[in-house]
Structure 1
Amino acid sequence: MVFPSSSPLVWILAGEASGDVLGARLMHALRARVPNMRFAGVGGVRMQEEGLVSLFPMRDLAVMGLVEVLPRVRQLSARLEEAAQDIAAQKPDLVITIDSPGFALRLLKKISGLGIARVHYVAPQVWAWRQKRVKEFPGLWEELLCLLPFEEKFFGKHGLKTRFVGHPVLQSGAKDGDAARFRDRHGLPESAKILVLMPGSRRSEAPRLLPVFGQMLRLLKKNMPDVVPVVPVSPVVASVVERATQDWPVKPVIVTDIHDKHDAFAAAGAALTKSGTSTLELALAGVPMAVTYRVNPITAFFARRLIKVPFVAMVNLLAGRAIVPELLQEQCRADVLAREVQILFEDKEVAQTQKQAFATVLHGLEGPQGQLPADAAAEAVLEVLNRKNTAKTLG
């Protein structure tokens, strides 16, 4: 590798919990190849454990939805300016933005005149909705690292340099949990039916699902009195969950540690989750699930007219068919969810059919040449850095 110094500086940004995990793995893989690499930028607990001193709290960026973002516009604009100024001042060798396209792509555009190499990790899901936005992307990055195999072709046909690096869920450890350890740690008997509830990693989304989950538990208690809800959330959202679940008929086990979360997966008989990567984590752990989600009605109104794919659950999208139920918006009701949970626990054929489909989906997410996704991403990043620095040297 041709670097301008013995310790290249990479400015890296993640805007939410899943991106924080990706960023931490990528930082670790990069340092394994370039031990003196330095990092600056914005990240959460996991990236800070890898040595990042975050420019500002990552939670300031963790917001989604057309309506939900409006009250935060001024703060987000200020954070955007702060990040751009920091990049200009530090003059890193490379900038990496991870997911969070609403913020990350604006940042990449804002720094486009600085002559710094840029990589965006996790493709914007414009293939799902607002496909015309792809015309805005040329010039934003030197390379786009994508997680889903079909994305390479989609963005490639629009002339964007894209590389499929495999899906990081395969490195998550979600399948390595210990059910007995989870029950022992939380004092749960073998008779307890563990129900995983995943309301989302953002402060703005979790409160939309938690009330309906509480109502569902009241209905379930009549037929399944031994159900114990487990809510894995990021530390950022834990206090929100604690307040919102105080009146639940069954006290939930709130899990913030990633290993405890995986142990919960191993102990679980069923799960209700928001759409997104959480469906792949549960699939890897072999947990039968249903997907549910509720957003502001105005957000839902516009989203339904813009979405171009037949499914919102990632496992369904990758399978090309409905292997798990999608109970969205009007179907996100206590009675509907309670009925579905009971089926997942009691109908062994339904659970087994889901698990068989999960295996096929996950096989398609493996990285090139069997590499771990973080390793494939690190090598792609270093190639971009090397090309940029070679060009500078020759220039």
Structure 2
Amino acid sequence: MEKIMVIAGEASGDMHAARVVEELKKINPKLEFIGMGGQRMAEAGVELLYDPTKLSTIGFIEAVKHLRLMYRILSKLEEAMKEEEPAVILLVDYSGFNMKVAKVAQRCGIPAVNYFAPSAWVWGQWRANKMAKRDVTIASVFPMEEQVYREAGAEVEFVGHPILDIVDPNLDTTEFCREYNLSSEKTIVGLLPGSRQQEVDALLASMLEAASQLQERYQRELKFLLPVADTIANSELEAEIKQYDLEIELIAGQSYQVMKVADLLLTASGTATLEAACFKTPMVIVYKTSLSTYLLGKLLVKIPYVGLPNVIAEEEVVPELLQGAVTGDKIADEALNILNSNSKQEDITEKLDQVINRLGEQGAIKRVAKLVLATGGISNGAS
């Protein structure tokens, strides 16, 4: 019985890896899976050697704290490669660590596929060069990613972005609107401060200050919705919100419903911005990290934008505010520029549609699964 090793780190990688594992099992039910990841992967049938999802960090300096532990885990994975002899290794996101796993896999003579590969188009060609030298096959999810890895000499297949499989832009929100008393008479603003505690700590206060200003300065009645990730405690959000004269609906999950019904989103930079783009919802993107991480990033980052819709479009489709510019005043100003202009809203909607078109077609998860099987020389299980 053939085995596949799957390596993911953070919650998002765990989710994407689990979906590929589920697809692989549909194609070939006899496959076995081992690896590193979280609850989603375990539920999908992966025998976990380690779960790193609780160690999720943002930034260069923060990641160093877990460096020694990461090398111990890397050693454990190398032992498993030699003992279990997987036919192929699927690396999902978690770029710093997975670049090291790719080197070990090459040393062990095991082919590897990288899904959500290191962002060489952000941090520089050297990352693509390294993965190419390690004979890693790239399952590319972004058009600019495909280009930079091909230029580095890597084997690349543009699979498209799985968000097109995951997000339904025609989501029915009738029941959701009824439950939260939403109507066209109210302008709905969604607050998405992130799914990591570090993001919430850095962004929520400024978002709430912006909401407070919008309540004072905007001419129509506003309704604020805040979908709460399962990684964040409601009590902490409630304590922060109490400091402002605001009525904000805290909603367990259902972030897609919020994105669909909102007239505007105030959102942390990240995957949520692409999810919102699928609904063509105007947004203001905010990003704030530790000063050390930001300064290092300024030296290394090779692109002018941080928001994914802007990166993909290669222009500022939606406003983004970074570091010191993340204040209640500036967020509110950008929000009002959008809310008070129908032409601005229409322009953003049209350009977000173009962004999504650049992400390919539905079926990315199935294409990744087939690429993993082909790379590992594994049959489809039909025989």
TM-score norm. by structure 2 comes to 0.88
What's the counterpart of residue 393 of structure 1?
Answer: none
CA displacement, residues 310-356 of structure 1 (integer Å, 9 cap, x when unaligned): 22222112222211111111211111111222333332221111111
In the alignment, the residues of structure 1 paired with residue 307 and residue 367 of structure 2 have an alpha-carbon distance, to the nearest angstrom, of 25
> How far apart, in 2, do the equivalents of 1:253 and 1:47 lie?
31
Counterpart in the other structure of 1:113: 107
Deviations 1:38-68 (A, max 9, x none): 2222333433332334333342342121122
Q: Secondary structure at the match of 2:29?
A: coil
Aligned equivalent of 1:341, options 335, 339, 342: 335
Deviations 1:352-372 (A, max 9, x none): 1111111112112114xxx61
- 2:372 pairs with one of 354, 358, 381: 381
Query: What's the counterpart of residue 90 of structure 1?
Result: 84
Contact 1:273 1:291 in 2 (8 A): yes
**Separation in 1 of the partners of 2:186 and 2:33?**
45
1:25 Cα deviation from its structure 2 partner: 2.2
Aligned Cα root-mean-square deviation (Å): 2.5
- In the alignment, which residue of structure 1 is the partner of 2:357? 363
Change (3 A) 1:113 1:283: same
Deviation sequence 1:116-174 (CA, Å, 0-9, x none) = 22111112112222333333323434411111123222211211111110011111224
- List gaps (5 residues or longer) in structure 2: none
Secondary structure at 1:21 match in 2: helix
Given that 1:182 and 1:267 are in contact with CA atoms closer than 8 Å, whether structure 2 keeps it comes out as: no
Partner residue in 1 for 2:151: 157
Cα distance in 1 for partners of 2:248, 2:7 equals 33
C-alpha displacement of 1:298? 1.6
Partner of residue 27, structure 1 = 21
Q: Secondary structure at the match of 2:57?
A: coil
2:352 partner amino acid: F
Q: In the aligned structure 2, how far is the partner of 1:242 from the partner of 1:147? A: 37
Provide the residue aligned with 1:203 in structure 2: 197
% same residue:
27
How far apart are residue 270 of structure 1 and its match? 0.7
Show the counterpart of 1:235.
230
1:284 to 270, 275, 278: 278
Give the AA of the match of 2:295. F
Distance 1:128 1:366, change over 3 A: same
Which one of the candidate residues 46, 56, 60 is aligned to 1:52? 46
Structure 1 residue 245: Cα displacement = 4.4
- Provide the aligned length of Structure 1 versus Structure 2: 375
Q: What is the CA–CA distance in structure 1 between the aligned matches of 2:252 and 2:135, rounded to whole Å?
A: 34
TM-score by length of 1: 0.86
Distance 1:75 1:244, change over 3 A: farther
In 2, distance between residues paired with 1:380 and 1:266?
33
Contact 1:214–1:245 (Cα < 8 Å) also in 2: no
